[in-house]
Every structure is written in C-alpha cells, then in structure tokens.
A and B are shown apart, each in its own frame.
Chain A
Amino acid sequence: MHWSAWTARLALVSAFAIASPSAAQSPPAGVNPTGAAVLAFQKRVADYVKVHRQADGKVPSLAETNDPAKISEREVALGEAIRALRSGAQPGDVFCEEVRPVLIKVIHDDFAKRSAMDRKALVQELPAKMALTVNMTYPSKLPLATVPAKLLRALPDLPPELEYRIVGRSLLLRDVKANIVVDFVRDAVPTIPS
C-alpha cells in the first residue's frame, strides 16, 4: 500500500501519538509504530515547508528567464534565507529518530529485491562520498543520482519543495529550489561488495 494512503488510515488512531516526541517514540498499544514514525516525519517535513515558504517570500520570485545569472542568484538567495531561518538546524531535525530505522529498512528491503547486477549499477551511479552538513549547498559539480522509481514509491511522499537523493551511503533530503541539504541519514544504503 502506498505510504500516503497508509498513513492517512493511521492518522485517526495515532494522531495523539505525535503530540509529543516522547509519545511518538513509544506509541501506545494498538498504534502501528511505523505509521506513527512516518506521521512524525511528515509533520517535521510540513514544518520545514513552512520555513521554506517563509524564506521564499523574502527573496524575489523566480520566473522563466533568459539570464541564467538570475536563476543562480535566486537559488543562492533562497538558500541563504533558509539558512538564516534554521541556523540551529541539526541532523535528525527532519529525519527524526523515529523514522530513521523505518527509512533504512525501506532502502534495505528495496536493495534486497534487486539483482546483484542491478545493485552494482545503482551504486555505480551514486556520487562519491562527500562531507555532509545540514544546510550545506549541494555541490553543483556532483550529479544528482537518480532515485530508483520503485524505491521512491516505497518511501514516504514529499511535497514538491523537497526530494530524496542518495550520496555515497547516505540518504539526503534536498531542497529543490534552494539546492541545499536539509537533512541526511548516514549508512542508509547497504554496503555492496565490490
């Protein structure tokens, strides 16, 4: 079942589970802990989107242009505005503690279903390891490795402001318009024997 539908059905029974972090970490009996974790993640994503939109309102709007300088200037300005609004952001702020094992399991399960050749081809496509920090600009010289369509389908939905990407063995949450790393989970991708 798709995450969005799945979590929607859980929403009623687990709404109170995300009222506080401690409640989310230990959902009451009868509440699916995975669903609660995904709901907690989606709430943090929604909080981030509020920050993004607030920052977006502070920089000139971006329309199509013949001048690529305007595109890059706008990207940089949006990134700076977001950084200013979440200057104290730490790893795990969005990829919260509850959801990290869920996401890792989704990725491991996906890789387990793939042939050795497919896994190798996939890993070969990934950009080399890089030092990750929250709020950093995603290096424009690195490719944005394709997130396999079936894996994308298995991961929780994201709003258009955000996307998943994989670098090395880390799962990234990237702000599409600002080109910044919002959060990451290290060692999310299984090791592939060479």
Chain B
Amino acid sequence: MSMHPLHLLSWARTWALAGAFALALAPVPAPGSQPAAATRRPAVGAPGASGETQPSRSKDSVRFAVIGDSGTGGQSQYDVGARLAGSLQAFPFEFVLMLGDNIYGSERPQDFALKFEKPYAEILARKIPFYASLGNHDDPNQRFYQPFNMNGKRFYSFTKKGARFFALDSNYMDKDQQDWLARELEGSHDRWKIAFFHHPLYSSGARHGSEVDLRDIVEPLFQKYRVGVVFAGHEHFYERLKPQHGIHYFTSGGAAKLRAGNIRPGPLTAKGFDSDYSYMLVEIDGEQMHFQTLSRRGQLVDSGTITPEAVNSSSQPGGAEP
C-alpha cells in the first residue's frame, strides 16, 4: 500500500506530537530534582511500602502531603492511603492538605469512617493532622468535623514555621470570602504563602479545564500579595503547570479517582500524569520548596525544587491561558 507524501508528512507529524506528549507524561524527574535512578527501588505493590519516596532533607523543614478528590471509600483510596502511610518512613510529613471532595456521595456517620478514617487510619493514629478544603461533592457542614481542622470555617488559614496556608472554598467565592482573602493575604508577611482549594485556575483537563471565573477574581490577589504556590484538585489526575504570572500551580486530584488519558496536550503543562492514582509530598526548607509526586504503586512521577527566584518572578511570563 502506498501513501501520498502529504499524508505521510501529516501522519509523521501526528506521531511526533503523540510521542512528544507521551514523553512529557513519562515518569521522569523534573529539572532540579534528584535523579530518579539515585533513589529508585523496585516498585512494591504491598501497601505500606515507601516505594520510590525521596527522603526529606531537613528535620527543621515544613513537610506535608497533598491529596485531592480522595473520599470515595473505594479500593484506590485505600491503596493510596496505604502508600501515603508508607511514605512516612522516608518522608515524615507533619500534616496533610486535602483539596476537596473529601467525602463523595452520602455523608452518613459511617461514610466518614469508610471514606476517611479507615483509609488513613495509620496516619491518623500517628496524630498527623489533616487540613481540608471543600469540594463540590462536600457538604459545607464538614467544617465542623474536627479531624478536618477547619475550625468551623469554610475558608481559613494557618501557619507552619513561616509558611502560611490559605484554605479556600472555591465552590462559593462570594464577597465575604474575597474580602477575607484580601485581608488575610495583606496581613501575612510569611516567607511562603500557599493557597489550596478544589478548582484549578489552570488545567489541561478535557473534562473540566481552567476555572477562568475564579481565576479572574483570586489570581490578582495572589499576584498582589505574592502567593507562590497553589494546590488544587477537581481534575482526577496530576498536573504541574508551567508557572503562570510567577505562581506555581499544581493539580493533584487523583488520590482516589482517575480520569485516565484526560490531559490534553497543550502549552500549560509542565508535567502531567493521568495513568494512575497519585499524591504529593512537599518540603519547605528555608528558601526552597521541594516537591515529589508518587503514584499508587509508589512510582516517582514528578519531582523538583522551587526557589524564591522562581516564586512571583515578574520575568516569568504566563503561558497560554485557555
């Protein structure tokens, strides 16, 4: 069978693009991270194993885990929960950020056990606190559930060793919340300002995509008050965005749900992973923030370091904004 040269060219271009995207999604470490080979161990399927978790670098650092869209009560949540607990050995994180959709479906008392207390029993037993934000599947009354540490608030903030965390309710960004956020950010003089909430301001997801409405309202505040890092969920995969207006955006919504193959190739993505469930481990060590993303099987999916120069640097132009 012969092929017209123009068709051949088009065919080759298609495969080149597909190959480039596959490379972008391949589990290789990001620039600035430790080479995966240096710490690589065989991926272990047994729950509790730390897999390829990279060790923490300092005892005095702020170390935390990030999970999003976690509350299904399904096997995948339990797998990720076990893997997360296994990571504690190499990376003793001090708290966990929850990016919303903490309890899917019914919210009866037994659902809190099935969809939160049991999957993370080992972490809870070690008195490691969780800090939740609300997703579109969450009853706002979750804010009264003490293990979520929301102090009865839909939006709140807390400080850990010079890092200020802002939990937002992105489902309902009303005027009260906007005013609160502006006041809190203005009053914070912490070296690191980190926001976490459910809906991603930038996303390459075919299902949802970027939350432009929300972005137009909160991103100017993030820029004005120098928020350096933002974590969101909602999209059931992992994506590290190219810095936008000097802000580092991560989507980590695959801790129990997965939308396989949902990341569309595009200019926003620095790194994408949509072929398995995932969670993140983050360490703030003075002027540097190290992050690593691990799959349910303990595979290192992404890692890297954010430096102050890279935070809110006006020299970093935003990428394409769909």
Write the residues of chain A forming the contact surface with B, with a CB cutoff of 8 angstroms.
2, 4, 62-69, 71-72, 75, 117-118, 121, 125, 140-141, 143-153, 157-158, 160, 163, 176-177, 179
Question: Does any Cβ of A come within 8 Å of B29's Cβ?
Answer: no
> Is the beta-carbon distance between B145 and A149 smaller than 8 angstroms?
no
Q: Is B60's CB within 8 Å of the partner chain A? A: no
Interface residues of B (CB under 8 A from A): 105-109, 111-112, 136-142, 144-147, 151-152, 170-176, 199, 208-209, 212-214, 216-217
A68 touches B109 (CB 8 A): yes
Residues of A within 8 A of B213 (CB): 148-151
Query: Which listed residue, B106, B136, B147, B199, touches A140 by the CB 8 Å rule?
Result: B106
- B210 CB to nearest A CB, Å: 10
When distances are taken between beta carbons in the complex, the residues of chain A under 8 Å from B217 are 149-150, 153
Give B8 Cβ to nearest chain A Cβ, in Å: 33
Known: A64-B152, A68-B107, A121-B209. A152 touches B145 (CB 8 A): no
Also in contact, A144 and B152, with CB within 8 A (given A71-B144, A150-B217): no
A143 touches B137 (CB 8 A): yes
Pair B171/A71 contact, Cβ less than 8 Å:
no
Q: Within 8 Å CB of A67, what residues of B?
A: 109
Chain A contact residues, majority secondary structure: loop
Please give the distance in Å from B219's CB to the nearest CB on chain A.
11
Instruction: Give the contacting residue for A149; candidates B108, B140, B173, B208; CB below 8 A.
Output: B173
**CB–CB A75/B208 < 8 A:** no
Give the docked Cα–Cα distance between A144 and B101 (Å).
Answer: 11
- Rounded to whole angstroms, the CA-CA distance of A141 and B171 in the bound complex is 17
How many Å from the CB of A149 to the closest CB on chain B? 4
CB within 8 Å for A68 and B216 given contacts A143-B136, A143-B137, A152-B174? no
Return chain A residues, CB-CB under 8 Å to B208: 121, 125
Q: With A and B bound together, what is the CA distance between A76 and B105 in angstroms?
A: 17
Contact with A71, one of B106, B136, B145, B170 (Cβ below 8 angstroms): B145
Report whether A64 and B146 are in contact in the complex, using a CB–CB cutoff of 8 Å: yes
CB A68 to nearest CB in B, in angstroms, measures 4
Question: Is A163's CB under 8 angstroms from B172's CB?
Answer: yes
Q: How far is the CA of A68 from the CA of B147 in the complex (A)?
A: 10
Known contacts A121-B208, A148-B213, A150-B217: A141-B141 contact under CB 8 Å: no
Complex interface: chain A residues within 8 A of B145 (CB): 64-66, 68, 71
Known A-B contacts A72-B109, A146-B171; A176 and B146 likewise in contact (beta carbons under 8 Å): no
Option from B111, B140, B209 in Cβ contact (under 8 Å) with A176: B140
